[in-house]
Amino acid sequence: VSKIGDGVFNYCSNLESIVIPQSVSFIGANAFWGTPWLDNARKNTPLVEVNNILIDGTTAKGDIVIPSNIIEIAGNAFVGSSTTNTRLTGITIPNSVKSIGKSAFWQCTKLTSISIPSSVLSIGASAFANCNNVKSLTIENGVKYIGRYAFSGFKMTDLTIPRSVLSIEEGAFNGCNCITTL
Query: Tens digit of pLDDT for each residue in 159-177?
Result: 888 999 999 999 999 887 7
- Rounded CA gap, 20 and 23, in Å? 8
Structural contact between residues 113 and 136, judged by C-beta atoms closer than 8 angstroms: yes
Name which residue leads in pLDDT, 170 or 86.
170
Number of other CB atoms surrounding residue 70 within 10 Å: 19
Task: Assess whether pLDDT exceeds 60 at residue 71.
Answer: yes
pLDDT band at 80 (very low <50, low <70, confident <90, very high): low
pLDDT value, residue 81:
58
Q: State how far Cα 135 lies from the chain centre.
A: 18
Mean pLDDT of all residues in 44-55? 96
Task: Assess whether pLDDT exceeds 60 at residue 182.
Answer: no
pLDDT band at 180 (very low <50, low <70, confident <90, very high): low
Task: Assess whether pLDDT exceeds 80 at residue 156.
Answer: no
pLDDT value, residue 106:
94
Task: Assess whether pLDDT exceeds 90 at residue 39.
Answer: yes
pLDDT band at 178 (very low <50, low <70, confident <90, very high): low
pLDDT value, residue 157:
73
Mean pLDDT of all residues in 55-71? 95
Beta strands in the chain (DSSP E): 3-4, 26-27, 48-50, 53-56, 62-65, 72-73, 88-92, 99-100, 113-116, 122-123, 136-139, 145-146, 167-168
pLDDT value, residue 160:
84
Q: State how far Cα 105 lies from the chain centre.
A: 5
- The alpha carbon torsion through 125, 128, 132, 135 (nearest 10 deg) reads -120
